[in-house]
Chains A and B, each alone.
Chain A
Amino acid sequence: MSKEIQQHLERAIEISPEYAAAHFELALMLANDGKDKKARKHFEKTIEINGDDANSHFHFALLLQGMVEHELSREHFLRAIELDQNFANAYYHLGLLLRDLEEYEEAKNNLEKATDVDQNHTLAYYHLGKLLTDPEDYDTARKNYMTAIDIDPGFIDAHYYLGKLLSGGLKNDNDGTLVQEPDNKGARTHYEKAIELDINYAKAHYNLALILTKQEEFELARKHFEKAIDINGEYAKAHFHLALLIKTTLPIKKKTAPAKKKNS
């Protein structure tokens, strides 16, 4: 079917080489099939014919991002936004591109803009939460994850990363002093929810086990460490913390050969 449509579009372009919509649809189909170079040619033609279509710039930017042409991709995202200042997905994808380019402040600004324009943009809230790692942004990060979860209660990764934020608990208090106040109870709820949604979420089992260890629920902690290792046998941190747990819970052995006494 898609091959047929493609042939029709090619025929349409043969008849009318300046038919922008045909170039655009064909470019989308080619990009979807992974034929990037051909898709690029048609996107370029679409934009040459009609440079004022935000959607064309946006999809071309996505293609360029995939082709690792970051600077050009950024230009087209920006052009899309210039043409349509309510283009939430353009802000969102530009945010992700800037994150990959390690331009975090700009990335955050664009993700925030995406959520301003589209207040149900779950992914934008989630990725913004992930980027807000500075202790002074703790509350904002939490709110973003919570909003993502409010919109989509089955958003597994949002539960997991909210759990991580809460169990880390690094934040600035009212007078700007750095404090560490882990909310283990809240974190536990979200790790458990992530596991309920995906029983094979190794990292959620591992992080839940860390909290259970702190809460001295050693037996349950051991089970979750073991589950994490069952899912991913190469999970070094899970092996490490399970070893520590085993060592901690072993009966204390009396020392037989004390070390040399220190000068006293």
Chain B
Amino acid sequence: MSLDTAIRHLQCAIANNDQMAEAHFQLAKIYNENSDINAAISESERAISAGIELIQVFEKKGNFLLKKRQFPEAKQQLIKANGLKNECSVYHVFLCSIYWSIQDIKKCTDHAWAALNFFPQNADALLYLSYLDANAKKWKSSAENAEKSIEINFYNAQAHLHMAVIKHAQKKGKDAAHHYLIARDLDKNIIHNKLQKISEKYPDA
């Protein structure tokens, strides 16, 4: 069994159901791992459009059932629509990560906002907004988005590391040390020389 076999099965899944958003997305992930960026982007976009179509189907059905006062069944349709919104949000964040890696700032920003539009509590999308702000040296808004991201998902080491970088840029050494130490607690592989030195100055941070 090889990755090619996995790709072939994903392609079969799509050939039989082109609206299978998650199959497009998995294919996108494999293409990205293989550094085929264009194919990864195009599969991710297909995943999103398939997801949107399905959301509309479930919402339409859910609203129809609501009008018929079939509440449990309506609820199930709307729960499915909501689940797909979360998935679409994840697909947008994935595109964010690709555009971030190739430094296409405009598209990265668009997809971060699109992700939040589907699911406002997407911690990863907020983190990308924070990266983008930091990239433009907008430290205040960068810190705000990083903080929101951490509030939603405290256990993301990268978010704490990034917050440490922001705090360092804002010349808040103790706060930088605080977040750097949390990042290190969460992921022992994280090493940042400058922040390491700062954290040694504030061992109780």
Find out whether the CB atom of B26 lies under 8 angstroms from the CB atom of A243. yes
Flag whether A1 is at the interface (Cβ < 8 A): no
Flag whether B2 is at the interface (Cβ < 8 A): yes
10 contacts between A and B (CB under 8 A): A102-B73, A104-B70, A134-B76, A236-B13, A236-B20, A237-B20, A240-B20, A247-B26, A250-B2, A260-B103
- Given A240-B20, A260-B103: A247 and B30 within 8 A (CB)? yes
Find out whether the CB atom of B135 lies under 8 angstroms from the CB atom of A263. yes
Find out whether the CB atom of A102 lies under 8 angstroms from the CB atom of B68. yes
List 17 other contacts, CB 8 Å, given A102-B73, A240-B9, A263-B135. Answer: A104-B70, A133-B72, A236-B17, A237-B17, A239-B10, A239-B12, A239-B16, A243-B10, A246-B2, A247-B3, A247-B26, A249-B1, A250-B3, A259-B101, A260-B102, A262-B158, A263-B134
Find out whether the CB atom of A243 lies under 8 angstroms from the CB atom of B13. yes
CB distance from A264 to the nearest CB of B (A): 5
CB distance from A171 to the nearest CB of B (A): 13
Flag whether A244 is at the interface (Cβ < 8 A): yes
Count of CB-CB pairs between chains A and B under 8 Å: 95
CB distance from B91 to the nearest CB of A (A): 15
CB within 8 Å of B: which A130-168 residues? 133-134, 137
Q: Interface on B for A, CB 8 Å cutoff?
A: 1-3, 5-10, 12-14, 16-17, 20, 22-23, 26, 30, 33, 35, 65, 68, 70, 72-73, 75-76, 97, 100-103, 131, 134-135, 158, 161-162, 164-165, 192
- Chain A residues with Cβ below 8 Å from B75 are 134
Interface size class of A (residues with CB under 8 A): 20 to 34
Flag whether A15 is at the interface (Cβ < 8 A): no
- Chain A residues with Cβ below 8 Å from B13 are 236-237, 239-240, 243
Find out whether the CB atom of B65 lies under 8 angstroms from the CB atom of A102. yes
Q: Interface on A for B, CB 8 Å cutoff?
A: 102-105, 133-134, 137, 222, 233-237, 239-240, 242-244, 246-247, 249-250, 253, 255, 257, 259-260, 262-264
Query: Looking at B9, B16, B75, B131, which has the most chain A CB atoms within 10 Å of its CB?
Result: B9
Query: Looking at A102, A246, A250, A262, which has the most chain B CB atoms within 10 Å of its CB?
Result: A262
Find out whether the CB atom of B161 lies under 8 angstroms from the CB atom of A264. yes
Contact of B100 among A105, A257, A260, A264 (CB under 8 A): A260
- Chain A residues with Cβ below 8 Å from B8 are 243
Interchain CA distance A105-B69 in the complex, whole Å:
9
- Chain A residues with Cβ below 8 Å from B6 are 243-244, 246-247, 250
Find out whether the CB atom of B23 lies under 8 angstroms from the CB atom of A264. no
Find out whether the CB atom of A133 lies under 8 angstroms from the CB atom of B73. yes
Find out whether the CB atom of B100 lies under 8 angstroms from the CB atom of A235. no
- Chain A residues with Cβ below 8 Å from B5 are 243, 246
CB distance from B7 to the nearest CB of A (A): 7
- Chain B residues with Cβ below 8 Å from A102 are 65, 68, 70, 73
Find out whether the CB atom of A133 lies under 8 angstroms from the CB atom of B161. no
Contact of B76 among A103, A133, A234, A250 (CB under 8 A): A133
Query: Looking at A133, A233, A247, which has the most chain B CB atoms within 10 Å of its CB?
Result: A247
Find out whether the CB atom of A240 lies under 8 angstroms from the CB atom of B26. yes
Interchain CA distance A236-B100 in the complex, whole Å:
32
Q: Which 5 A-B pairs have the closest CB atoms?
A: A243-B9, A236-B17, A239-B13, A134-B72, A240-B13
